[in-house]
Amino acid sequence: MAVRRRAPLVLAALCAVTVAGVTPASAATLPGGIDLPCAATPLRQSADWYLPDDPPRGLVWLQHGFARTAANVASLAGTLSAAGYLVFAPSLPFVNPSGCTLQNLGDNTPFLDTVADLFATADDPAGALARSLAAAASTAGLSAPALPRQFVFIGHSAGAEAVEYVAHRLHTTQPDAWSTLRGLILLDPVKSFLGNNTDAALTDLDRTPLPVLTVSGPPGLCNTFGSGTTAVRTLLHRSFVGVRLPSGAHTDAEGASSDVAGELACGVPQSANASALQHLVVRWTGDFVTGAEVTRDDPSVTAAADEAGAQPLDGA
């Protein structure tokens, strides 16, 4: 019990350090913003867009983890963009007096409902998502591509719980948007200390054919001893739910975009683990978009096993 009480200290260390501007923007990165309703006050959050060179194969929502920003997933975002995907990487709050937060500190579901609305209105040129992309592209002197109607959601740490819940919300309330969602990738997922967002979302998603896969590290303080991965393995009744990197760190998803705060609190990402994670994410994103099934015998899993000792994970 004494060890487990240290987890909030790790989170506090992350909160205490400003992480904006960790990774310099590349030519494909369009800094911008997104407007989100928050109680009675509109919330303006920064959001980075990554444009591929060719017409995008799909739209990826890439969500950072607790007390982090979009800058901390810039390396993975750039890799996905280079593979042909339009990437939306917003920075969502971890502290907000109205409860508009990435992780659940009481009840953040009304806020996550507004995030779900971004994708429900993605085909509307006047919708918040389209306006965000158009403004970012215009500032850079570029033309914005049309938003693809194939979505893949990817979340790291607490961001994994957020994408789970938003997917669940689309399934239960937005059938048109749900039909465009191709899959979820959860990167060392973490459950919030409060509420049941993870369990409610996964229980619902388990009843659907939507692919949900995780790339997890070993249990530790920063992933609350594997809480999110345990939920995936317990609540998804599927023969294959992803892989574990036995020597991984919680920061593997951040890779070269991590910083001193993340590395001191949650470990230094090793190149083999970060590389294996990115290879898996790109391959699985492509499989989701094309409708290909991913199994434990998939070449991506075999390659990750050779590169970083990845171990396949079974569901319930």
SS3 state at 139: helix
| Overall average pLDDT of the 232-259 stretch | 97
Domain total in the chain: 1
Full-model pTM: 0.92
pLDDT score, position 25: 41
Confidence label for 40 from pLDDT (cuts 50, 70 and 90) = confident
Domain that holds residue 145: 4-313
State the chain's mean pLDDT as an integer.
91
Spatial strand order in the sheet of 212-216? 29-38, 41-50, 86-90, 59-63, 151-156, 181-187, 212-216, 242-244, 311-313
Q: If you search the block for the tokens 């590395």, which residue do you land on?
A: 263
CATH number at residue 145: 3.40.50.1820
Separation of CA 149 from chain center? 18
Confidence label for 13 from pLDDT (cuts 50, 70 and 90) = very low
- Other beta carbons within 10 angstroms of residue 53's beta carbon come to 10
